């Protein structure tokens, strides 16, 4: 029998879009725990933010931060040494860490350069903790964690669709790209799919035969959804599924955010 591995987005998927509550998903989380099914968080959130939620619901599996920028694997999680020919693996506190993303300092310099060119763009790094808390509808403590970034700069911008397109082209000309979740995110040459592929290879080495599942809700989840056997999306707050997510074998679950997530996981393992 194949071992199931579940990859999940957080915001708007496992967590409610507005309240960040995961309570509707707790029954399915408990089922995964009881059946020893790995639940791998793959989020735009920072390491500190993800660790907060891992502690909240007792998750001790690997995770992916900042839209694929970093992979964090708890030490001794796999029964073999983690080595790659083309990737460096470093030890940091309780983790083996694989860095795929750009340096945050390079992203910040690019934001500043774009402003000098006349673009009305503001990154998380430009906001005070209080301003970020209000913008993202999170607590002060959560805003502190959200500002501890390594690989990804979320930003907001003012302007019409033409100005937005010009900004995206300008970012591309500087060697970076943009994805979209709740906010725009500027990244280097990394995405959720590349990180998930690396973890899938490690899980296959550990268990040989696995069945991979990913659950998301927005465009920045597309690279992750493309890499798994069973891609699933939940409904967004307006009750619709994101129309830009159109990939083979896609399952669209009825249920918004964590409610849909709970329904999908229970159906999967029952």
So which residues are the catalytic ones?
Answer: 9
Residue 176 has a CB neighbour count (10 Å cut-off) of 17
Strand order in the sheet with 153-157: 121-123, 153-157, 184-187, 177-180
Biggest alpha carbon–alpha carbon distance for the chain: 57
DSSP letter for each residue of 22-66: -GGGHHHHHHHHHTT--EEEE-SS-HHHHHHHHHHTT--S-EEEG
Pull the structure tokens for residue 227.
Answer: 């890499």
73: phi then psi, degrees, rounded to nearest 5: -115, 120
Pull the structure tokens for residue 66.
Answer: 């900042």
Residue 3 has a CB neighbour count (10 Å cut-off) of 16
Pull the structure tokens for residue 27.
Answer: 């029954």
Query: Which residue is listed with tokens 């500087």?
Result: 174
Query: In sequence order, which ranges of the chain are alpha helices (DSSP H)?
Result: 26-34, 47-56, 104-116, 129-136, 140-146, 161-173, 192-207, 222-226, 257-269
């Amino acid at each position: 029998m194949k071992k199931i591995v579940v990859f999940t987005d957080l915001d708007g998927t496992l967590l409610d879009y507005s309240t960040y509550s995961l309570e509707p998903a707790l029954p399915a989380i408990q089922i995964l725990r009881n059946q020893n099914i790995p639940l791998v968080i793959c989020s735009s959130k920072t390491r500190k933010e993800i660790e907060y939620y891992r502690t909240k619901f007792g998750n001790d599996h690997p995770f992916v931060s900042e839209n694929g920028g970093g992979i964090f694997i708890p030490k001794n999680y796999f029964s073999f040494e983690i080595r790659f020919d083309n990737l460096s693996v470093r030890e940091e506190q309780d983790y083996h860490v694989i860095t795929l993303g750009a340096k945050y300092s390079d992203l910040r310099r690019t934001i500043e350069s774009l402003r000098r060119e006349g673009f009305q763009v503001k990154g998380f790094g430009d906001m005070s903790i209080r301003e970020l808390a209000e913008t993202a509808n999170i607590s002060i403590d959560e805003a502190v964690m959200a500002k501890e970034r390594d690989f990804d700069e979320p930003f907001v911008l003012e302007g019409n669709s033409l100005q937005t397109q010009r900004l995206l082209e300008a970012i591309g000309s500087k060697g970076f790209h943009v994805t979209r979740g709740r906010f725009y995110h500027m990244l280097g040459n990394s995405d959720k799919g590349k990180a998930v592929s690396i973890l899938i290879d490690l899980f296959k080495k550990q268990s040989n035969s696995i069945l991979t599942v990913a659950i998301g809700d927005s465009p920045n989840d597309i690279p992750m959804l493309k890499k798994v056997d069973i891609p699933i999306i939940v409904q967004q707050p307006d009750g619709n599924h994101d129309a830009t997510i159109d990939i083979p074998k896609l399952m669209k679950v009825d249920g918004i955010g964590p409610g849909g997530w709970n329904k999908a996981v229970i159906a999967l393992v029952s």
